Amino acid sequence: MNSFSSKAYWEQRYSENGNSGAGSYGRLASYKADILNAFIAFNRISSILELGCGDGNQLSLMTPVASYIGVDVSETTINNCRKKFPSGNYTFLKSGTIDKNTYADLVLSLDVIFHLVEDDIFKKYMNDLFHHSKKYVIIYSSNVDAEWPATHVRHRNITKFAREHIIGWTLKAYLPNKYPFDKSDQNNTSFSDFMIFSREDEPVFLSAV
């Protein structure tokens, strides 16, 4: 694991015409979009920052907002997303180039964290998620500390990390996946759940979620 680079893995994957994976397509993508679009509408979200935007297929199903910034480690996928979403409302940046004073109403992490196999990258990523948010953070990921046979996957206990290291934020909702992981049907099921955080003084409307 020590020699594995998540950044190199995803750049190679996208440069060889790979995509973001089954979670960003089909019924899993539709399920995620339903949850996110309801949240965006009921909480009047006008700006979104997504850390790990991937190939943009999930984004294509989301309600447009006044400002969207997508960040990814892969220069290939960033360039592809710029072509796919040419509107001025969409900005795409390579990881490490976003200004520390950039903030959004909602910061998203969708099927990303279990791909961060390196401890230092995981910790920085988690801190960035909450640092760049003005109001809400939504994480869609597994939530248990566990190894996995695939070299590009390592599961993390996110809620435990947040309790111990993230100050001033509250887990407001935990939504188990509508299609829980089934080893025999991995393209249509997922080990990811929704975790919705907000700043402690920020109300969250979840009645349509």
Residue 206 lies in a domain: no
Residue 207 lies in a domain: no
pLDDT at 206: 79
pLDDT digit string, tens, across residues 138-163: 999 999 998 888 888 999 999 999 99
Domain span at residue 193 reads 6-199
Residue 180 lies in a domain: yes
Average pLDDT score over residue span 118-136: 97
Structure tokens at 195: 């975790």
Residue 120 lies in a domain: yes
Residue 1 lies in a domain: no
27, 29, 32, 186 from 180: Cα distances, Å:
12, 14, 13, 10
pLDDT digit string, tens, across residues 33-52: 999 999 999 999 999 999 99
Q: CATH code at 13?
A: 3.40.50.150
pLDDT at 1: 43
Q: Long-range contacts: 144-147, Cβ < 8 Å, 24+?
A: none
> Which carries the bigger pLDDT value, residue 205 or residue 32?
32
Q: How many domains does the chain have?
A: 1
| Rounded Cα distance, 154 and 142, in Å | 9
Helices (H) and strands (E) in the chain, counts: 5, 9
| Rounded Cα distance, 20 and 70, in Å | 14
Residue 135 lies in a domain: yes
Residue 204 lies in a domain: no
